[in-house]
Structure 1
Amino acid sequence: MSLVMTSPPAVEPVTVAEAKAHMRIDTDVEDILIGSLVLTSRLHIETALSLALITQSWKFTLDRWPQSREIELPLAPLRSVGGVRVIDASGNATTVSDQSYLVDLASRPPRLIWNNSVPPLPGRAAKGIEIDLTAGFGDSAASVPAPLKHAILMLTAHWYEHRDPREIGQDGARIPDAISDLITPFRTIRL
């Protein structure tokens, strides 16, 4: 199984100006670096939480259908499933009717559940199933929960201060507990 971004978010949850204000930087000399750190911080938090903060599109591929009638989708909050395709042995894709399945957007993780129909089997041994996903809290930074935006600001500031590679592995380079505390309510807990 793999997950590949097909359309990135149009904006970041935090602007360079917001990050500079948070870090009390009033020059433009390192705007490119700060922008890169904002992007990296967002990606780090999204990966840690299996979240998409701003609306983005992904292609989720599977080798075969799971034994159960449902598939856990790896990204939340899920906004929609754009399509499900099965690839045959010749590499041709067949779109599965959206009447064959139900998408549970409210679950965490979100799920695709088969109705009474049996999904068609892929003819390809690897990546024979493709599912198009759209996920994110919304299209703008205003839709992202404030604790996650603040975690991005704090992580950006932390990485701005700790950019020397000699610090890797030392306590000063460790991500502060306060950032983990901010994102903990958004973690998926498995029992």
Structure 2
Amino acid sequence: MMLIEETAPEAEALPVAALREHLRLGTGFEIADDTAEDVALAGFLRAAIATIEARTGKVLLTRRFRMQLDDWRDRLGQTLPLAPVIAVDKIEIDDGMGTVTEVPAENWRLLPHGQRPMILPAGVILPHVPRRGMVSVTFTAGFGDSWTKVPADLAQAVVMLAARYYEDRSHDGAKGAMPFGVSALIERWRQVRTLAGRGSREARR
């Protein structure tokens, strides 16, 4: 499986003010009003968001992704690797010979789920993927476009982790282990990962 992030969170959606407050960088100080410092804080936030999303499989701020598989894991239903999924934008099958065909939307449906959203066939099974081909699924996932839509515990975990990155910024770039408080906040959101593709094809070999 290959997962490609096609869009990034808008800079305006990042909780720079919350991080500044957490770090006690009060207003009126030169560091608080420094544009370069805000850019640096945004960078630590992006790094923290990426880490939290990798640990939980949850997308905090809404954006678009593309998943590429060489075959469905199960033609009765394909699990998506991230949640929550807002919409599946399109499904395309490449036959490996240069022809890409979009699967009609009426041939499948999205089953929303907080942990394991799935693509289900409208009929019996999902469409066949040629042996030398691949299937590409473009989908939109995330809790919302603004930071206020992110669940409070995940939002706090991001700010705490970004603060740790900020405090450790002079330590040769080493971020160290996940702080206990952050791990405790994200624990309920974590899920056991499963393979996203290749299952049905491997079974035939």
TM range (shorter): 0.7 to 0.9
> Given the alignment, which residue of 70, 89, 96 partners 1:82?
89
Query: How many residues were matched structurally?
Result: 187
**Corresponding position of 2:2:** 2
**Corresponding position of 1:141:** 147
**Corresponding position of 2:188:** 185
**1:118–1:182 CA distance, 2 compared to 1 (3 A):** closer
**1:158–1:12 CA distance, 2 compared to 1 (3 A):** farther
Q: Per-residue deviation at 1:139?
A: 1.5
Cα deviations across residues 130-172 of structure 1 (Å, max 9, x unaligned)? 0011000112111111111111111011111122345849xxx
Aligned-partner Cα distance in 2 for 1:55–1:158: 24
**1:17–1:59 CA distance, 2 compared to 1 (3 A):** same
Q: Per-residue deviation at 1:180?
A: 0.5
**1:176–1:13 CA distance, 2 compared to 1 (3 A):** farther
**Corresponding position of 1:161:** 167
Aligned-partner Cα distance in 1 for 2:179–2:13: 20
Native 8 Å contact 2:13 2:145 kept in 1: no
> Given the alignment, which residue of 116, 137, 140 partners 2:123?
116
Q: Per-residue deviation at 1:11?
A: 4.5
AA matched with 2:150: V
Aligned Cα root-mean-square deviation (Å): 2.3
Alignment of 1:1-191 (within 5 A): 1-11=1-11, 14-26=14-26, 27=31, 28-29=33-34, 30-106=37-113, 108-123=115-130, 125=132, 128-165=134-171, 168=174, 173-189=176-192
**1:114–1:69 CA distance, 2 compared to 1 (3 A):** same
Task: Point out where structure 1 has 5 or more consecutive residues left out of the alignment.
Answer: none
Aligned-partner Cα distance in 1 for 2:75–2:125: 11
Aligned-partner Cα distance in 2 for 1:64–1:35: 38
Native 8 Å contact 1:158 1:175 kept in 2: no
Which 10-residue stretch deviates more, 75-84 or 96-105? Answer: 96-105
Task: Point out where structure 2 has 5 or more consecutive residues left out of the alignment.
Answer: 194-205
TM-score under structure 1 length normalisation: 0.87
Identical aligned pairs, as a percentage? 30
